[in-house]
Amino acid sequence: MKIGSDAGNGLRELAGVRAVVTGGTSGLGLALVEELAGRGCGVAFVARGRAGVERVVRERAGVHGIVGDVASKEDIHPIAVQVLGELGGLDVLINNASDLGPAPLEFLADTECEDMERALATNVTGPFRLTKALLGALARAAREGRGALVVNISSDAAVAPYPRWGAYGASKAALHHMTRIWDAELAAEGVRFISFDPGDMDTPLHALAVPDADRAALKRPSEAARELVDLIASVLRRQGKPAAESSSSAAEANQ
């Protein structure tokens, strides 16, 4: 599919919006990179595997790939510096990269502490650190009237106590609650936070968790990405002006 083929269809509303997606080489994250780039956003993405990052950059001209591990404290500031260097600021952060905990899934009593720690580091502490590192840029975007939004990717496992999903479910519940608190604390600054549950999708993470699932019955990641990007557009619209509109107003004001 040609990126930008939806131009003229009312979908260019997000043109000029600067967005970063963690976990952008597979599944939902990759679909988000494609959807956002297709709607004219400036897009950066993060993943650990260099080969995957280089492949996505090769196949999708104009997107910026960053090799980094969101679970690693040392990687967070280098990731943030590269995001801001590549995009020149930030309007939308999508914390999408995730860790399942033990694979195959285990009851909590059989879960290794290291698997629990990795799930929490990837799904809670990593998004917390990255949000903190990028908060100044997001607050600036809000002040400039561009809108500023953090999306944390959640799951029904954040709410339902599914046996064997303990590490993942507890970490997603913490992420969801942290999202609500961030939103309450930063509403006055104009930086919004939302959780998004994409539903059961046909991705490598799902295959790892539920190897015998009927893949044909699962949602395509591209469908979830479309839904989320529509939601992002509506939040930015309610918040202020989409970037394209805000830059043209700024240009008009300077004339």
Of 21, 33, 47, 225, which one interacts with ligand NAP (CB under 6 A)?
A: 47
198 counts as binding ligand NAP under rule CB under 6 A? yes
From candidates 34, 66, 90, 96, binder to ligand NAP by CB under 6 A: 96
Q: Does 78 bind ligand NAP (CB under 6 A)?
A: no
Query: Which of 56, 186 has the CB closer to ligand NAP?
Result: 56
Based on the residue annotation, tell me whether 168 is a catalytic residue of this protein: yes
The answer to whether residues 203 and 224 touch, using CB atoms and an 8 Å cutoff, is no
Report the half-sphere exposure of 70 (CA within 13 A, side-chain side). Answer: 29
Q: Least distance (Å) from ligand NAP to the CB of residue 188?
A: 28
Site string for ligand NAP, 135-164 (x = CB under 6 A): ------------------x-x---------
Q: How far apart are CA 81 and CA 94, in angstroms?
A: 16
| Stretch 7-26 residues interacting with ligand NAP (CB under 6 A) | 22-26
**Strand residue runs (E) in 135-180:** 148-153
Instruction: Choose among 98, 36, 89: nearest CA to 231.
Output: 36
Tokens 């930008």 -> residue:
4
Told to check if 48 binds ligand NAP by CB under 6 A, we report yes
Half-sphere exposure in the Cβ direction for 42 (13 Å, CA): 15
Q: Residues 168, 182, 193, 196: which is the catalytic one?
A: 168
Residue nearest to ligand NAP (CB): 27
Cβ contact 83:94 at 8 Å: no
Examine residue 63 and tell whether it contacts ligand NAP (CB under 6 A): no
Query: Using the rule CB under 6 A, which residue among 14, 36, 70, 149 binds ligand NAP?
Result: 70
**By the rule CB under 6 A, 171 interacts with ligand NAP:** no
CA terminus-to-terminus distance, the chain: 39
Backbone φ/ψ region at 129: left (φ over 0), alpha (ψ -120 to 50), beta? alpha
Q: Could you tell me if 97 and 122 are in contact, meaning their C-beta atoms sit under 8 angstroms apart?
A: yes
Residues identified as active-site: 168
- Residues at the site binding ligand NAP, with contacts judged by CB under 6 A: 22-29, 46-49, 52, 69-71, 96-99, 122, 153, 155, 198, 200-201, 203-206, 221
